[in-house]
Structure 1
């Protein structure tokens, strides 16, 4: 594939499990250039994100990019970031070198999702709660639930779009009853990765599903683990009541956390869920009581019904967000 130099941007979405890479022309991601790389083989060879990006550039015959943007699932500061659930790091200088790009930027993955909101693929946004229409430019919120969990507000201002980063998955799990306290105590004492702290991510992520499933089994005297993929498969075919019980805990907690974030940030323009776990869970959000849990805020329950809530089913939205961000920064 012969590609002109300094015409395209390289965009990448780096999660804890997979890295997606593509070329973009302006704000448009080129579908034929999208590649998906499982991270584990690179980890097994002692390699990091730089090796993934180099492999992509080589696969496209050494394409010389004009711009490059990488969205990573972890905190970013001063142009450098490190994945929360994988010991990979990336900074602007390394990104520019490996892609030969004149412009390079490292974003948090939820920041990229926020920059994608106006450029999503048609039909990729599925409503969960209709809410009430808002004025143009109202604040919005993206919430990601996949390998990890995070959230970021989206503000459109006269000077451009601002998507502040956060690490919302690592705040304390909200507890509303005895069952929640038992779950928190289990996470604190029995889950090594939790390190004695019951955070939101230890429930509202892929491994969080596995934690909840094993906790329910432990309480029932049958501590048999299942993978998140197996839990969702059993939920779909109805073969395991514990999978349904796990999903009900997940949906209730998701509604509780999202309601807290809505009251904190007042995203009248809408709340957008992204990520593989919440996409898989979408058919069960309504029957398992997401709306009730979201509005379970006492006298502010009715207030919360005004926020539109949706699920984004475009798996490449973060790539679009990287392209959109680079395009808005052109010439600055």
Structure 2
């Protein structure tokens, strides 16, 4: 008789990935990928994956969108994920629904060294120290990761929409240019995929020359050494370093700051040359204090799935 299985589900903007997990680990050989555009909802995907697994013990799903009381609606997809309905559909399985950034938060304590690119080494800290996950991709968000006994606590947040501020004449021109186009612009309007596009368009306008590019075009131009693309990347990095530094002073993540998301992954290897460390530590008399916080770029494509698996294992141990 087959034993009940546990599965992790990672719903992205284009694809959904499903995998078996056991004792907090993803069984990577079981990962299957499904195109969202070919399915009207998550349920047919789960039906297809679970066809060979009639008994389901637990499911953890992460999704890009707000989650409340076990129900979430995806930001860029007309799907609603309801933990209660999915539990009933799978014969009473335990179902947990997380925001995608929460899943990343549950993963970071379980990532191996080869899943990380260390940007700033920081200083050694106890295993239970607070961590901070910063997502820079289609949008911007950040969450602290706390440990309480055997449980990992990752509160939901919408930290990408805090007020965009200016510290010098250049940033004031940027703020005025952006607010003329997007009233009440938040920090996400400069730290995201579209944020990089906004910065490049501003550089073109500020210099009175050049053609604004999309994010892929900016990265290609940056790689080729184009001066305007490099200037936009430096502005981006300055804001990112400051943002991570501000949140580090708020949360004291002695366990490390972890950068995730598509834009962070593309720019990550260049951040140190673009001034990230200087912006991160630009805190006046607290500059030396900032040197305690390690900063890592997460390079593991399965981190969200691993976070779901780790969360399920904790829930099952606590039951």
Same fold (TM over 0.5): yes
Partner Cα distance (2:45, 2:166) in 1: 45
Alignment of 1:297-308 (within 5 A): 297-308=283-294
Partner Cα distance (2:57, 2:95) in 1: 9
Shift of 1:59: 5.0
CA deviation vs aligned residue, 1:136-175 (integer Å, no higher than 9, x gap): 3111111111121111111112252211111111111242
Shift of 1:229: 1.9
Q: Is the 8 A contact 1:295 1:305 kept in 2?
A: yes
Partner Cα distance (1:128, 1:186) in 2: 32
Q: Which residue of 2 aligns with 1:245?
A: 231
Q: Which residue of 2 aligns with 1:280?
A: 266
SS at match of 1:66: strand
Shift of 1:112: 1.0
Q: What is the TM-score normalised by the length of structure 2? A: 0.90
1:295 aligns with 2:281: yes
Partner Cα distance (1:164, 1:301) in 2: 28
Q: Which runs of 5+ in 2 are unaligned?
A: none
Partner Cα distance (1:107, 1:18) in 2: 17
CA deviation vs aligned residue, 1:102-128 (integer Å, no higher than 9, x gap): 110111212111211232245111110
Partner Cα distance (2:258, 2:241) in 1: 13
> 1:83–1:225: structure 2 CA closer, same or farther, 3 Å change rule?
farther
> 1:92–1:120: structure 2 CA closer, same or farther, 3 Å change rule?
same
Q: Which residue of 1 aligns with 2:151?
A: 160
Count of aligned residue pairs for this structure pair: 317
Q: Which residue of 1 aligns with 2:195?
A: 208
Q: Which residue of 2 aligns with 1:197?
A: 184
1:76 aligns with 2:63: no
Shift of 1:203: 1.5
Partner Cα distance (1:165, 1:248) in 2: 30
Q: Which residue of 1 aligns with 2:45?
A: 55
Q: Which moved more, 1:305-314 or 1:18-27?
A: 18-27
Q: Is the 8 A contact 1:137 1:269 kept in 2?
A: yes
Q: Please, which of 27, 30, 33 is the counterpart of residue 30 of structure 1? A: 27
Q: Which residue of 2 aligns with 1:260?
A: 246
Q: Please, which of 170, 173, 178 is the counterpart of residue 169 of structure 2? A: 178
> 1:96–1:298: structure 2 CA closer, same or farther, 3 Å change rule?
same
> 1:63–1:284: structure 2 CA closer, same or farther, 3 Å change rule?
same
Q: Which moved more, 1:180-189 or 1:67-76?
A: 180-189
> 1:204–1:18: structure 2 CA closer, same or farther, 3 Å change rule?
farther
Shift of 1:101: 5.6
Q: What is the TM-score normalised by the length of structure 1? A: 0.87
> 1:32–1:169: structure 2 CA closer, same or farther, 3 Å change rule?
same
> 1:104–1:312: structure 2 CA closer, same or farther, 3 Å change rule?
same
> 1:221–1:139: structure 2 CA closer, same or farther, 3 Å change rule?
same
Q: Is the 8 A contact 1:15 1:147 kept in 2?
A: no
Q: Is the 8 A contact 2:255 2:294 kept in 1?
A: yes
> 1:103–1:297: structure 2 CA closer, same or farther, 3 Å change rule?
same
> 1:59–1:163: structure 2 CA closer, same or farther, 3 Å change rule?
closer
> 1:97–1:138: structure 2 CA closer, same or farther, 3 Å change rule?
same
Partner Cα distance (1:158, 1:7) in 2: 27
> 1:36–1:229: structure 2 CA closer, same or farther, 3 Å change rule?
farther
Q: Which runs of 5+ in 1 are unaligned?
A: none
SS at match of 1:170: coil
SS at match of 2:128: coil
Partner Cα distance (1:283, 1:213) in 2: 20
Alignment of 1:83-98 (within 5 A): 83-97=74-88
> 1:100–1:254: structure 2 CA closer, same or farther, 3 Å change rule?
farther
1:134 aligns with 2:133: no
1:21 aligns with 2:18: yes
Cα RMSD for the two superposed structures: 2.3
